[in-house]
Structure 1
Amino acid sequence: MSRQRLPRFIAILLLWLLAFLQLSSLAVTSVTIDEPSHLVAGYAFLTRGDTRIKLNGPILPNALGAVPLLLQPDLKLTPADDPMWDQNDHNGISDDFVWHNAASPFLLIYLARLPFIFIGWLLGALIFRWASERAGAWAGVFALALYVFDPNLLAHSRFAMTDFVPAAIACFALYSFDRWLPQTRNRKWLVTTGVLTGLMLASKFSLIMFALPMVILVVLRSIRSAQRMSVLIGVLFIFAIAAFTIWVVYGLQIGPIDPGGTPVPAPGFWREWQSAQYYLNQPWPNYLFGQTSETGWWYYFPIALVLKTPLPLLVLFSVALIRTVLKRTWHDDLGFLLPSLFLFSSLLFSTNNLGYRYLLPVLPLVIVYVAGLWPRSVSQSLFRFSTLSPAALFSARHLVTLSLLAWQVIGTLRIYPYYLTYFNEITGGPDRGRYLLSDSNLDWGQDLVGLRNYVEQNNITSIKLSYFGIAHPAAYGLHTQAIPPIRTAMHDQGAWWLKTYYPSDPPPGKYAISVANLMGGIWIEPATYAFFRDRQPETTIGNSIYVYTIARRGEPVNLSLAGLQIDQIDLETYRMFGTNDVRPRWFDATSSLIAAPGSAWIAIADNQPLAPEFAAFFAGAEPIAHTQVTDEDRAYGLYHFDLARRIMQAAQQATPLSATFGDTAELLGYNLKRNGHGLTFITYWRAGDQVVAPLQMFVHVLGPDGSIVAQQDRLDVPAFGWRPGDIVAQVHRADLPSHVQSSEIAVGFYNPDSNMRLPVTVAGQPSGDRLLLSEARP
């Protein structure tokens, strides 16, 4: 193979390796937190020209991700007149589109990621070419290797997001500008630069910080040029073409930015610009060094740069910068340094410190810039092994450069396939990095696949999940107990609204906690998982989900809660239980009761008065404690006595009737009272061995002809808290029409998700799916 072809051959191999590193890691990378919103915004634009979803950035990256979806038939998009569009409820729209569509959500996301991966290959080819033109073909190989093994670029080149594509397009735009500037009369490069600059600005607003240095470089060029006016006119043409390109990207739309305003080209672009300015002025949770702030820190991005950039690249950049200063090669290097400086400096003033990803546009420029350090003597000597001694072939400079490259390669391969969680050796890896940075620096909800594999391989039947993401765990085959924070995606994970987690003394069981939630501060109180924070995890999933097992301490305690959640019990009161295995039930005290057999604890909020029908059950029972709810300006009383026995006594004194409803509940008795047109119906139940949840109770008041004259579908004791043997009391009240003189009651249970009623058995005999109770007269 000739010496001209070998570098190109190695470059092709490196691009194939890049493809492998990207595609092979997708199998363990679940849907990240913002991908669905960006995808549905792009799809709505391509199919309807709709730009009402505002994500604080231009449409181009979103549209690129949506292009492959145009080949998918029968995709359903939320109707254009749905209020969610005008409310900018992109989470709701994207949840419907990705997780409840005709096509698999995994197929949709996979297809959406492909254009970004492909653009990653194109960027690699450009980096090879640009570095080769500056410093020789082997410098191009060196630059390409640095790019292929950059963990941050690898991570984001696989996501259908708005970070990598703008970085790639910006590099193409600056390369084209670099080609045009020495030959300003070259129309091909002028038009190409204009188009690419337009695409750059149509992909990310912050890249205006790359456009401004282009103007400065043109001015500097014009000062040295005899054709000063031609150079200045050329740059005006570039930005005119860029503006037209933005308009083309937005489908040549013309319309008002605000209703009733003056029509302008690309109104969607300007609406996003307005949205972005509003967004930038809003408080946003930021995390750094274990602290949170809504205004950020000016030094956030310098620290992120030092902690997450591979050290070899930082060393190479430092050496290259020193060389530029000493050799005064500013003329050749300003095209890389000035845009990088402008973008980096602008980030110092940002109050939204959301991650290293905002630095991505700088990385390709830095890689091409440092490629000039590759010793040309190596390029010239690689084919003269027989005539050179080892010392001549590999000088100290050669060995240092190759060692730095090898260091970066090894560091990236060690983090494979979890590139997003990369932290360099200064930090000490992801486990130490979690104390320093959060959010997209480490945890973007990307590891549900790994969690599913862990659960399956270890035959885990019950696990509590605190998930920092919007992907649906159920879509990955996960069935967990949802613990805070509860996002929409967790709504299919059991009774997510009924809290069982007590932050200061977590109940026993296995926990899977997203590291962003573990460290706190981003949409969750820092104290929520402080109990776990410094404990050694049992294992970690993809460096972003920490798994713990909490053992039981003390004997189980039964607690019934009215108007409260368990985490609203103050710590001093909670310690009275003497265990971390507190088993909560929930009820509405104005119409129901639930108690475990034997002596049990009952906590009732003051703002939820006890039903008059149940007041006798608490006769002589004084609260052991009466204290404030932890997070609200109200109080509750805590009781400890055998409430179940008292309810059972009332059931025995009521109309006795033994009937079972599936394996869920046994009717112990009932009271049916008619007072004028008012009807009071009290039922007493014992929970069965296999409780159906969710569960709803229906009470139908039937007239003489069997028609329903009044009804209530209500169960004020959520079945999610029932345990075998629990005693439940439920009261229903209804007003009957004046013409109804006699009535019967039909009672039963059904699953509200399936609408399937539970079968009724009376005295061992099947009795349909409802129970008719005795006649009630005024």
Structure 2
Amino acid sequence: MKSPTFDETFYLSAALQTVHQGELDQRLPRKGVAPLPILLNYYPAVRATGGVSRADIWKGELTDPPLINRARLMNALLVGIPTMLLVFVWLNRRRGYLAGLLGAALLAFSPVMLAHFSVATTDSCFTLMGLLALAALTGYWKRPLIRTLFWVALTVALAISAKYSGIFLLPCVLVVVVLATAQQQLTALSLSQLWKLCQRMMVVFTLFLLLMMPLTWAFHLFAFAGPLKAVPYARTQDDSHWIRILGRGPSAQKIMDVAHRELKSPAPLWGILHQIEHNSEGHDAYLYGEVSQGGWWYYFFLVWLWLSTPVELVFTVLTLILIPGLWQPARKNLLPVLARDQTEAPSTEDETSETVPTPLAPCV
């Protein structure tokens, strides 16, 4: 309440620079920061100031607190409340009013969620956009149509533009596309059917990418983050990806020089590549008095235990216990299909006796 977080100064400076120059501040994707939370929360808060350029983007000013407080208010209104409403509406449609009310209450009274909704950072915005993407993906699973695929592409673009960690949604979309296509197309386990399935899947996923990529760039205001290759050929290190792919030589030098001098990198591409490179190099993490750049496999498990409220921990245990029961509706839906496919039992020698259908085998 009394001071900004470490990131808020950076986001405010980038928003002021965006307003000042009339285009997205290149330092956002260059630092691996997706711009959507800054455009949603900070841009409206600083637009009336006319913007200002700061040489040190991490250095704050005494006039920053009112602007950051406005951005926090925007985050609560545009991200926090919509997240709670989304959870309520989704659960209300799936399981009724009481389930929706309980789910929204778990967010409304969660100290962790309240903390993120009360500061103008990127995590809460990514939570909202990620939930929207999963909701759209669920809709596509139920109705695999072109219009539902468009909503998937739009919401995934929003999630990636909120935080570049959103690229984890791409393999999720691929899996759902494969399953939804198999559900529609696969009628027999033959090579021809599998080939048609692969063709259909590739067409659908390619269409998704063709929709998603320009939408993602649009949420970056169609900005560039610099040359496609940051440094010329002469300054390229031997461990660079360019050298690993192209090697060294006259042809490789010509390609790299053209990429450095004439080609520009779209902002989302630069930001995603920056995060991939940053994660491959490692990041300082702390746990139990130890510092590591590779992290610990049990880190997030311990964080969940320490930061969750008793109510959240109880519901986690209940969820794990009740997971086997979630398969019951699927089993019930499968029984009519088995009944239709069930052949009649052979009649007995007495043709006048009634034919007794064979009982359904237990569905495992």
Whether TM-score is above 0.5 comes out as yes
* CA contact 2:23–2:221 (8 Å) conserved in 1: no
Q: CA deviation at 1:226?
A: 3.7
Q: Show the counterpart of 2:155.
A: 196
* TM-superposition CA deviations, 1:281-311 (whole Å, max 9, x none): 4454322123333432221111111211223
Q: Show the counterpart of 1:51.
A: 26
Compared CA separation, residues 223 and 278, structure 1 to 2 (3 A): closer
Compared CA separation, residues 29 and 219, structure 1 to 2 (3 A): farther
Select 2:209's aligned residue among 239, 244, 247.
239
Correspondence 1:213 to 2:177: no
Distance in 2 between the 1:265 and 1:199 partners? 23
Q: Show the counterpart of 1:159.
A: 119
1:469-618 matches, within 5 Å, as none
Distance in 2 between the 1:226 and 1:284 partners? 45
* TM-superposition CA deviations, 1:703-738 (whole Å, max 9, x none): xxxxxxxxxxxxxxxxxxxxxxxxxxxxxxxxxxxx
* CA contact 1:40–1:66 (8 Å) conserved in 2: no
Ranked by relative contact order (alpha carbons within 8 Å, sequence separation 6 or more), the top structure is 2
Distance in 1 between the 2:173 and 2:329 partners? 15
* CA contact 1:42–1:63 (8 Å) conserved in 2: yes
* CA contact 2:144–2:180 (8 Å) conserved in 1: no
Compared CA separation, residues 186 and 250, structure 1 to 2 (3 A): closer
Q: CA deviation at 1:150?
A: 1.5
Q: CA deviation at 1:224?
A: 1.9
Q: Show the counterpart of 2:301.
A: 302
Select 1:36's aligned residue among 3, 6, 9.
9
Instruction: State the secondary structure of the residue aligned to 1:292.
Output: strand
Q: Show the counterpart of 1:182.
A: 142
Select 2:53's aligned residue among 54, 77, 101.
77
* CA contact 2:33–2:271 (8 Å) conserved in 1: yes
Q: Show the counterpart of 2:221.
A: 251
Correspondence 1:62 to 2:46: no
Distance in 1 between the 2:70 and 2:229 partners? 34
* TM-superposition CA deviations, 1:556-612 (whole Å, max 9, x none): xxxxxxxxxxxxxxxxxxxxxxxxxxxxxxxxxxxxxxxxxxxxxxxxxxxxxxxxx
Which structure has more helix as a fraction of its residues? Answer: 2
Select 1:99's aligned residue among 61, 72, 80.
61
Distance in 2 between the 1:244 and 1:329 partners? 41
Correspondence 1:287 to 2:251: no
Q: Show the counterpart of 1:130.
A: 90
Instruction: State the secondary structure of the residue aligned to 1:192.
Output: helix
* CA contact 1:184–1:231 (8 Å) conserved in 2: no
* CA contact 2:88–2:101 (8 Å) conserved in 1: yes
Compared CA separation, residues 265 and 192, structure 1 to 2 (3 A): farther
Larger Rg: 1
* CA contact 1:169–1:196 (8 Å) conserved in 2: yes
* CA contact 1:38–1:62 (8 Å) conserved in 2: yes
Counterpart residue identity of residue 61, structure 2: W
Q: Show the counterpart of 1:370.
A: none
Compared CA separation, residues 315 and 185, structure 1 to 2 (3 A): same
* CA contact 2:283–2:293 (8 Å) conserved in 1: yes
Instruction: State the secondary structure of the residue aligned to 1:287.
Output: strand
1:372-771 matches, within 5 Å, as none
* TM-superposition CA deviations, 1:32-60 (whole Å, max 9, x none): 11111122224434533331353323222
Instruction: State the secondary structure of the residue aligned to 1:202.
Output: helix
Q: CA deviation at 1:132?
A: 0.9
Compared CA separation, residues 329 and 305, structure 1 to 2 (3 A): farther
Distance in 2 between the 1:240 and 1:159 partners? 34
Counterpart residue identity of residue 229, structure 2: D
Instruction: State the secondary structure of the residue aligned to 2:291.
Output: strand
Q: CA deviation at 1:219?
A: 1.3
Compared CA separation, residues 331 and 31, structure 1 to 2 (3 A): farther
Q: CA deviation at 1:222?
A: 2.0
* CA contact 1:253–1:265 (8 Å) conserved in 2: no
Q: CA deviation at 1:68?
A: 1.4
* CA contact 1:128–1:141 (8 Å) conserved in 2: yes
Distance in 2 between the 1:331 and 1:44 partners? 53
* CA contact 1:44–1:51 (8 Å) conserved in 2: no
* TM-superposition CA deviations, 1:451-484 (whole Å, max 9, x none): xxxxxxxxxxxxxxxxxxxxxxxxxxxxxxxxxx
Distance in 2 between the 1:94 and 1:177 partners? 38
Counterpart residue identity of residue 48, structure 1: E
Q: Show the counterpart of 2:357.
A: none
Counterpart residue identity of residue 107, structure 1: P
Correspondence 1:271 to 2:247: no
Q: CA deviation at 1:234?
A: 4.0
Q: CA deviation at 1:141?
A: 0.7
Distance in 1 between the 2:264 and 2:36 partners? 16
Q: CA deviation at 1:230?
A: 6.2
* CA contact 2:9–2:57 (8 Å) conserved in 1: no
Compared CA separation, residues 130 and 264, structure 1 to 2 (3 A): farther
Q: CA deviation at 1:164?
A: 1.1
Question: In the comparison of the two structures, how many residue pairs are matched?
Answer: 287
Q: Show the counterpart of 1:325.
A: 324
* TM-superposition CA deviations, 1:406-452 (whole Å, max 9, x none): xxxxxxxxxxxxxxxxxxxxxxxxxxxxxxxxxxxxxxxxxxxxxxx
**Which ranges of structure 1 fall in alignment gaps of 5 or more residues?**
1-27, 79-83, 85-91, 333-778
* CA contact 1:170–1:207 (8 Å) conserved in 2: yes
Q: CA deviation at 1:211?
A: 2.8
Q: CA deviation at 1:274?
A: 3.1
* TM-superposition CA deviations, 1:366-419 (whole Å, max 9, x none): xxxxxxxxxxxxxxxxxxxxxxxxxxxxxxxxxxxxxxxxxxxxxxxxxxxxxx
Which structure has more strand as a fraction of its residues? Answer: 1
* TM-superposition CA deviations, 1:525-569 (whole Å, max 9, x none): xxxxxxxxxxxxxxxxxxxxxxxxxxxxxxxxxxxxxxxxxxxxx
Compared CA separation, residues 208 and 318, structure 1 to 2 (3 A): farther
Distance in 2 between the 1:192 and 1:248 partners? 15
* TM-superposition CA deviations, 1:673-704 (whole Å, max 9, x none): xxxxxxxxxxxxxxxxxxxxxxxxxxxxxxxx
Distance in 1 between the 2:107 and 2:272 partners? 31
* CA contact 1:202–1:249 (8 Å) conserved in 2: yes
Counterpart residue identity of residue 227, structure 2: P
